[in-house]
């Protein structure tokens, strides 16, 4: 028989409150990024000298960041699978690797930003660079939010009694993490390849 706490966490649809809330939040985030990407496409199509004489983005660094985020999606799935097997040490390890990969993504993005700033390329340089810094900046903030959420979930794994009642948060963290990975899958070709 299900516990009372578990029954209270269900909505009328049978979907747990936390999961429904996360899906609704992600729907709003999809709309946010869709608006930004649509604005980018309109500006791109209306600007014949794109991105301008200031230079281009590093495709190898963008590719590396893409591979890092794809890898981090795999590691968070492995963390969830380990949690479902009650393998707490493996859960911690995979979740920690997800966090390290996410932090690596931000580190590489910081290197890219530093290179642009060193060449005096700023958001005010032209429309392309405004779009680049806005899109990647907001994405980076979402990665930072995901890292914070993952660190919170990781901290819960060190308290066995707390983890037993909060393990579903790992699935919510995974949903959010996959979302930021998918956003990057759209941003990478738009900004780096086209």
**Does the pLDDT value for residue 154 go beyond 90?**
yes
Please, what is the Cα angle at 78 between 77 and 81, to 5 degrees? 90
Q: Which pLDDT band, with edges at 50, 70 and 90, does 3 fall under?
A: very low
pLDDT tens-digit profile of 122-143?
999 889 999 999 999 999 999 9
Q: Is-cis flag, bond preceding 100, omega within 30?
A: no
**Average pLDDT of the residues in 78-83:** 96
**Does the pLDDT value for residue 49 go beyond 80?**
no
Domain presence at residue 184: yes
pLDDT of residue 53: 67
Distance CA 55, CA 107 (A): 21
**Average pLDDT of the residues in 53-59:** 80
**Does the pLDDT value for residue 5 go beyond 90?**
no
Return the CATH number at 140. Answer: 1.20.120.80
Query: Which tokens is 7 given?
Result: 């029954």
Residue in the structure block whose two tokens are 């200031």: 54
pLDDT of residue 4: 40
Distance CA 149, CA 56 (A): 33
Lowest mean pLDDT among 40-54, 101-115, 180-194: 40-54
pLDDT of residue 39: 96
Sorted by sequence, the CB contacts under 8 Å of residue 126 that are 6+ apart come out as: 51, 52, 54
Convert the chain into a string of H (helix), E (strand) and C (coil): CCCHHHHHCECCCCCEHHHHHHHHHHHHHHHHHHHHHHHHHHHHHCCCCCCCCCCCCCHHHHHHHHHHHHHHHHHHHHHHHHHHCCCHHHHHHHHHHHHHHHHHHHHHHHHHHHHHHHCCCCCCCCHHHHHHHHHHHHHHHHHHHHHHHHHHHHHHCCCHHHHHHHCHHHHHHHHHHHHHHHHHHHHHHHHHHC
* Closest to 179 (Cα-Cα) out of 145, 134, 148: 145
pLDDT of residue 8: 46
Tell me if the pTM is above 0.85: yes
Domain presence at residue 6: no
Q: How many domains does the chain have?
A: 1
Domain presence at residue 7: no
**Does the pLDDT value for residue 109 go beyond 90?**
yes
Which range marks the domain in which residue 87 is found?
15-48+58-193
Domain presence at residue 9: no
């Amino acid at each position: 028989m299900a516990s009372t706490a578990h029954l209270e966490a269900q909505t009328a649809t049978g979907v747990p409150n936390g999961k429904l809330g996360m899906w609704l939040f992600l729907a709003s985030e999809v709309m946010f990024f869709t608006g930004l990407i649509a604005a980018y496409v309109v500006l791109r199509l209306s600007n014949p000298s794109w991105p301008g004489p200031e230079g281009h983005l590093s495709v190898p660094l963008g590719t590396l960041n893409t591979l890092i985020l794809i890898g981090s999606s795999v590691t968070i799935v492995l963390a969830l699978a380990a949690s479902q097997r009650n393998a707490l040490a493996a859960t911690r390890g995979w979740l920690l690797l997800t966090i390290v990969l996410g932090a690596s993504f931000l580190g590489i993005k910081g290197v890219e930003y530093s290179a642009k700033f060193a060449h005096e390329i700023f958001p005010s340089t032209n429309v392309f660079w405004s779009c680049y810094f806005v899109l990647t900046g907001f994405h980076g903030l979402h990665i930072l939010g995901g890292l914070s959420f993952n660190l919170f979930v990781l901290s819960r794994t060190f308290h066995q009694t707390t983890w037993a009642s909060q393990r579903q948060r790992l699935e919510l963290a995974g949903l959010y993490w996959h979302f930021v990975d998918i956003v990057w899958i759209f941003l990478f070709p738009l900004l780096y390849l086209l």
